[in-house]
Amino acid sequence: MSITILALASGLAGLGTYLILQRLLTRIIIGLGLISHGANLLIFYASASTGESPLIGGDDALADPLPQALVLTAIVITFAVTALLLALALRSYLLTGTDAVEDDREDRRIGGAE
Protein backbone atom coordinates (compact mmCIF):
# COMPACT_ATOMS: atom_id res chain seq x y z
CA MET A 1 0.00 0.00 0.00
CA SER A 2 2.57 2.55 1.13
CA ILE A 3 4.91 1.85 -1.79
CA THR A 4 2.01 2.52 -4.15
CA ILE A 5 1.43 5.94 -2.58
CA LEU A 6 5.11 6.75 -2.77
CA ALA A 7 5.29 5.70 -6.45
CA LEU A 8 2.17 7.73 -7.16
CA ALA A 9 3.59 10.81 -5.41
CA SER A 10 6.87 10.69 -7.28
CA GLY A 11 5.08 9.95 -10.57
CA LEU A 12 2.87 13.02 -10.09
CA ALA A 13 5.85 15.17 -9.20
CA GLY A 14 7.75 13.95 -12.28
CA LEU A 15 4.84 14.55 -14.63
CA GLY A 16 4.26 17.97 -13.09
CA THR A 17 7.92 18.91 -13.54
CA TYR A 18 7.72 17.96 -17.22
CA LEU A 19 4.60 20.07 -17.69
CA ILE A 20 6.02 23.10 -15.86
CA LEU A 21 8.98 23.16 -18.23
CA GLN A 22 6.63 23.71 -21.18
CA ARG A 23 5.88 27.14 -22.62
CA LEU A 24 2.10 26.89 -22.71
CA LEU A 25 0.53 28.38 -19.60
CA THR A 26 -2.30 25.85 -19.40
CA ARG A 27 0.25 23.03 -19.18
CA ILE A 28 2.18 24.90 -16.49
CA ILE A 29 -0.99 25.25 -14.42
CA ILE A 30 -1.84 21.57 -14.77
CA GLY A 31 1.76 20.75 -13.87
CA LEU A 32 1.56 22.83 -10.70
CA GLY A 33 -1.65 21.06 -9.75
CA LEU A 34 -0.01 17.65 -10.19
CA ILE A 35 3.06 18.64 -8.16
CA SER A 36 0.99 19.89 -5.25
CA HIS A 37 -1.07 16.68 -5.32
CA GLY A 38 2.22 14.79 -5.17
CA ALA A 39 3.26 16.86 -2.15
CA ASN A 40 -0.08 16.21 -0.44
CA LEU A 41 0.28 12.47 -1.00
CA LEU A 42 3.77 12.67 0.45
CA ILE A 43 2.38 14.22 3.64
CA PHE A 44 0.11 11.20 3.95
CA TYR A 45 2.86 8.76 3.12
CA ALA A 46 5.29 10.27 5.59
CA SER A 47 2.97 10.84 8.49
CA ALA A 48 -0.40 9.13 8.27
CA SER A 49 -1.10 6.46 10.86
CA THR A 50 -3.97 4.02 10.60
CA GLY A 51 -6.51 3.63 13.36
CA GLU A 52 -9.98 4.50 14.59
CA SER A 53 -11.62 7.83 13.87
CA PRO A 54 -9.96 10.40 16.12
CA LEU A 55 -12.88 11.33 18.38
CA ILE A 56 -12.59 12.33 22.02
CA GLY A 57 -13.47 9.34 24.13
CA GLY A 58 -12.45 6.76 21.49
CA ASP A 59 -10.12 3.79 21.89
CA ASP A 60 -6.37 3.97 22.22
CA ALA A 61 -5.56 3.19 18.58
CA LEU A 62 -6.68 6.47 17.05
CA ALA A 63 -5.56 7.77 13.68
CA ASP A 64 -3.49 10.97 13.70
CA PRO A 65 -5.85 13.71 12.49
CA LEU A 66 -3.15 16.33 11.89
CA PRO A 67 -1.95 15.19 8.42
CA GLN A 68 -5.53 15.32 7.16
CA ALA A 69 -5.96 18.83 8.49
CA LEU A 70 -2.69 19.85 6.85
CA VAL A 71 -3.60 18.33 3.49
CA LEU A 72 -7.06 19.85 3.59
CA THR A 73 -5.65 23.32 4.22
CA ALA A 74 -3.05 22.84 1.50
CA ILE A 75 -5.73 21.72 -0.99
CA VAL A 76 -7.85 24.79 -0.28
CA ILE A 77 -4.88 27.12 -0.72
CA THR A 78 -3.80 25.42 -3.95
CA PHE A 79 -7.36 25.58 -5.22
CA ALA A 80 -7.59 29.33 -4.62
CA VAL A 81 -4.23 30.06 -6.16
CA THR A 82 -4.95 27.86 -9.18
CA ALA A 83 -8.12 29.84 -9.78
CA LEU A 84 -6.09 33.05 -9.64
CA LEU A 85 -3.53 31.61 -12.04
CA LEU A 86 -6.26 30.57 -14.48
CA ALA A 87 -7.63 34.11 -14.41
CA LEU A 88 -4.12 35.34 -15.09
CA ALA A 89 -3.78 32.91 -17.99
CA LEU A 90 -7.03 34.16 -19.46
CA ARG A 91 -5.82 37.74 -19.09
CA SER A 92 -2.52 36.85 -20.71
CA TYR A 93 -4.41 35.22 -23.59
CA LEU A 94 -6.68 38.25 -24.03
CA LEU A 95 -3.70 40.62 -23.99
CA THR A 96 -1.27 38.70 -26.17
CA GLY A 97 -3.51 36.40 -28.21
CA THR A 98 -1.43 33.38 -27.29
CA ASP A 99 -1.15 30.98 -24.40
CA ALA A 100 2.64 30.84 -24.54
CA VAL A 101 4.84 32.68 -22.03
CA GLU A 102 6.98 35.21 -23.91
CA ASP A 103 10.63 36.10 -23.47
CA ASP A 104 11.52 39.16 -21.42
CA ARG A 105 12.24 41.94 -23.91
CA GLU A 106 14.40 44.00 -21.56
CA ASP A 107 16.52 40.91 -20.86
CA ARG A 108 16.94 40.19 -24.55
CA ARG A 109 17.81 43.79 -25.28
CA ILE A 110 20.48 43.89 -22.59
CA GLY A 111 21.75 40.49 -23.67
CA GLY A 112 22.23 41.94 -27.15
CA ALA A 113 19.71 39.65 -28.88
CA GLU A 114 17.60 42.49 -30.19
Query: Which backbone phi and psi does 93 adopt, to 5 degrees?
Result: -65, -45
92 CB-side CA count, 13 A: 15
Determine if 26 is a binding residue for other proteins (CB under 8 A): no
Contact string 27-56 vs other proteins (x = CB under 8 A): -x---x--xx-xxx-xx-xxx---------
- State the Cα–Cα distance between residues 45 and 9, nearest whole angstrom: 9
Cβ atoms of residues 75 and 109 within 8 Å: no
22, 68, 70, 99: residue in contact with other proteins (rule CB under 8 A): 70
Least distance in angstroms from the C-beta of 53 to other proteins: 18
Q: Helix (H) and strand (E) counts for the chain?
A: 4, 0
> What residues make contact with other proteins under the rule CB under 8 A?
20, 25, 28, 32, 35-36, 38-40, 42-43, 45-47, 66-67, 70, 73-74, 77-78, 80-81, 84-85, 88-89, 91-92, 95-96, 101-107, 110
